[in-house]
Structure 1
Amino acid sequence: MIELRRWSASGAAWYAEQAKDPEILRWTTDSPDLTAADVRRAIAALPEDALAWMITDAETGEPLGNAAVDLKDGVAEPSYWIAASARGRGAATEALREMCARSLAAGAERVELVIHRDNAASARVAEKVGFVAGDAFEHPKLGPCVRYRWDG
């Protein structure tokens, strides 16, 4: 069982360290040079109503990953990553389900994911949650991607 907790400065070093993982770097726009200070500044700049969380183990509080939702014009676009030590435990699936629910509560009319076409693990997570693959396109930062849509 996971919990989404608001990011705090105390999680900055953990985020910066995990973001150096080659699998995270492969599928995200995080920089390999990201520092804890960079993350602290980003956390401090988050608006109060930001849809951005640390994914944690609900029982132990162990950090598991990162979750965020970009909400624009009624369309929510979740993004997430899971730390290497937490992969394969269902955390991404649970987190994505929770992000969808929170997106709707925040006013989203629909939820879409952008997943790199070669990111099979993320595509499996999306499909488990009920997302359906749609159009393929070239993302300016991620390269060849597929847009997945969830209608609840």
Structure 2
Amino acid sequence: MITFRRWTEADAAWYVEQAKDPEILRWTTDGPDLTVEFLRGRIAELTEESLAWLIVDAETGERLGNAAVDVKGGLAEPSYWVASSARGRGVATAALLEMCARARAAGAERVEVIIHRDNAASARVAGKVGFTEVESFDNPKLGPCVRYRLGG
């Protein structure tokens, strides 16, 4: 069981360390040069309305991953990653379900995820949550990607 909590500046070092994971670097826009100082600044800019959270174990509080939703003009685009120690435990699926619910609560009419064409694990997660493939395209930051839409 997972829950979301707000990021604190004390979480910055953990995020930066996790973001060095080759699987996270491979599928996200975070770079290997990410610094704790930079991330603390980004965390300090978050507001109560920001749709950005730390994924944690609901019982132990263990940090499990990163979750965020970008909402613009009725379209929500969740993004996430799961720490290597938490993979294979259903964390990504539970987090994506929760992000979709929060996106709808924030007024999103459509929810779409963008996944690198070769990221089979994230594509499986999207399918479990109810996303279907819409289109393939080249993303300037991620390379060849597939857009999936919730509910078809």
TM-score above 0.5, yes or no = yes
Partner of 1:92: 92
Counterparts of 2:43 and 2:3, CA distance in 1: 18
Counterparts of 2:148 and 2:96, CA distance in 1: 13
Counterparts of 2:48 and 2:63, CA distance in 1: 21
Partner of 1:46: 46
> 2:132·2:151 contact (CA, 8 Å) conserved in 1?
no
Paired AA for residue 66 in structure 1: N
Partner of 2:83: 83
Partner of 2:132: 132
Partner of 2:105: 105
Q: How big is each residue's C-alpha offset from its partner over 1:39-87, in whole Å with a ceiling of 9 and x where there is no partner?
A: 1011011233110000000000000000000000100000000000000
Counterparts of 1:116 and 1:47, CA distance in 2: 29
Partner of 1:5: 5
Counterparts of 2:151 and 2:137, CA distance in 1: 21
Q: How big is each residue's C-alpha offset from its partner over 1:100-134, in whole Å with a ceiling of 9 and x where there is no partner?
A: 00000000001000000000000000000000011
RMSD: 1.0
Partner of 1:24: 24
Q: TM-score, normalised by structure 2?
A: 0.98
Q: Report the CA distance between 1:151 and its aligned residue.
A: 2.9
Q: Aligned residues: percent identity?
A: 72
Residue 10 (structure 2) pairs with residue 14 (structure 1): no
Partner of 1:71: 71
SS of residue matched to 2:49: coil
Counterparts of 2:90 and 2:105, CA distance in 1: 23
SS of residue matched to 1:38: helix
Q: Report the CA distance between 1:10 and its aligned residue.
A: 1.1
Paired AA for residue 37 in structure 1: E
Q: Report the CA distance between 1:95 and its aligned residue.
A: 0.2
Counterparts of 2:138 and 2:2, CA distance in 1: 32
Q: Report the CA distance between 1:36 and its aligned residue.
A: 1.2
Q: TM-score, normalised by structure 1?
A: 0.98
